[in-house]
């Protein structure tokens, strides 16, 4: 029987930690490579959510992801790339919304801190 409070998620985290420790790619490049691999294996949308948020934080732009999809299309095939594009667009919007919300919350907190000091 699998152990841990969330054994599948914990195993995925462990696998990613090992992968990160064994590569010298910069974070943006690593995440673009992973997004390309997700498209190639016809990954579910949830897989993109795990990668697009960190990609946005690493400075990856939607245009960069589009370039990657164009590059892998001849190998992965049009149906997979189209499915990936839809999932990535949804995940990218979600990640940007979270990032925007975090910035807004931080700014509101800073404003509250400034008001309390005055």
Integer Cα distance of 101 and 9 in angstroms: 25
First to last CA, the chain: 58
Q: Regarding the domain delimited by 21-117, which CATH topology (the fold level of the hierarchy) does it fall under?
A: AhpD-like (1.20.1290)
Residue pair 72/81 in contact (Cβ under 8 Å)? The answer is: yes
- Residue among 87, 90, 91 nearest 44 (CA): 87
Count other Cβ atoms within 10 Å, centred on residue 31.
Answer: 24
Output the tens digit of pLDDT for each of the chain's 118 residues.
778 888 888 888 888 888 888 999 999 999 999 999 999 999 988 888 888 888 888 999 888 988 999 999 999 999 999 899 888 888 777 655 666 666 677 777 777 765 555 5
DSSP single-letter state for residue 28: H
For the whole model, what pTM was predicted? 0.70
Containing 78, the helix (H) or strand (E) segment is helix 78-117
* Domain residue extents for the chain: 21-117
């Amino acid at each position: 029987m699998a152990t841990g409070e969330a054994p599948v998620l914990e195993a995925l985290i462990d696998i990613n930690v090992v992968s990160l420790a064994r590569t010298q790619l910069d974070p943006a490049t690593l995440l673009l490579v992973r997004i390309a691999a997700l498209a190639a294996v016809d990954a579910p949308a949830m897989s993109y959510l795990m990668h697009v948020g960190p990609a946005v934080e690493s400075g990856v732009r939607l245009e960069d992801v589009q370039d990657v999809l164009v590059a892998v299309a001849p190998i992965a095939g049009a149906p997979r790339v189209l499915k990936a594009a839809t999932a990535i667009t949804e995940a990218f919007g979600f990640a940007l919304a979270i990032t925007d919300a975090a910035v807004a919350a931080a700014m509101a907190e800073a404003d509250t801190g400034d008001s309390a000091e005055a």
